[in-house]
Amino acid sequence: MSDAYTGGCACGAIRYEISAEPLFSNDCQCRDCQRKSGTGHGSYLTFPRRKDVKFTGEARHWDMVGDSGNVKTRGFCPVCGSPVCLPFSAMPDLFTIHAASLDDPGRYKPQAVTYHARGHAWDQVDPSLPKFDKMPPG
Ligand SMILES: [Zn+2]
Ligand SMILES: [Zn+2]
């Protein structure tokens, strides 16, 4: 088994350690990710089992309804405001983290670009990645 994925927010109030490999890693150019990241897209690693995640600190949560109709929860640090995680109430076992919250963001290996149709000309992502106009099915 490879090393755990560790990371947290900018101020250190929130830390996590995940002993698993991500199920899916994606750059998402949807409007919600643009607003939340303050730039053209968000970069995420999604892990399959909540029980593999050790989380310390108290994230503040904000729920929004995505275009899929599912509730997406934004988990961020109430002290420094860094976005850290996204629990999904529709799929409570999945646990998604922001790539740049990793201690070693170089471990992020994007596999696809989602909501590419919403992307801006000034936000170029890796041209070799498969692109989806929305979320890929399944
Ligand atoms: Zn913080
Ligand atoms: Zn998005």
For residue 138, name the pLDDT band (cuts at 50, 70, 90): low
pLDDT at 108: 98
User: From ligand 2's centre to the CA of 15, what distance in Å?
Assistant: 23
Confidence of residue 95 (pLDDT cuts 50, 70, 90): very high
pLDDT (0 to 100) of residue 136:
80
Please give the mean pLDDT across all residues of the chain.
Answer: 93
Report d(CA 118, CA 1) in Å as an integer: 37
How far is residue 129's CA from residue 111's CA, in Å, rounded to a whole number?
6
Neighbours of ion ligand 1 (CB under 5 A): 9, 11, 13, 77, 79-80
Question: Max CA-CA distance within the chain?
Answer: 40
What pLDDT digit, counting tens, does each position of 96-131 carry?
Answer: 999 999 999 999 999 999 999 999 999 999 999 999
Ligand 2 center to 52 CA (angstroms) = 24
What is the 84 CA–ligand 2 centroid distance (Å)? 14
Q: What is the pLDDT of residue 1?
A: 54
Of all ligands present, the nearest one to the C-alpha of 30 is 2
Model-level pTM?
0.93
Q: What is d(CA 101, CA 57) in angstroms, rounded to the nearest whole number?
A: 14
pLDDT of residue 134: 86
Nearest residue to 32 (alpha-carbon basis) of 138, 135, 122, 136: 135
pLDDT in tens, 45-94: 999 999 999 999 999 999 988 777 778 899 999 999 999 999 888 888 99
C-alpha to C-alpha distance for 107 and 53, rounded to whole angstroms: 17
d(CA 97, CA 49) in angstroms, rounded, equals 13
Q: Which ligand sits nearest to residue 132's alpha carbon? A: 2
Three-state SS string over 71-112 comes to EEEEEECCCCCCEEEEEECCCCCCEEEEHHHECCHHHCCCCE
First and final C-alpha spacing in the chain? 26
Helix (H) or strand (E) holding 64: strand 60-65
The per-residue pLDDT for 68 is 73
pLDDT confidence of residue 64? 86
Pairing type for strands 112-114 and 24-28 reads parallel
Between the CA of 84 and the centroid of ligand 1 the distance, in Å, is: 9
Ligand that lies nearest to the alpha carbon of residue 78, given by its number in the listed order: 1
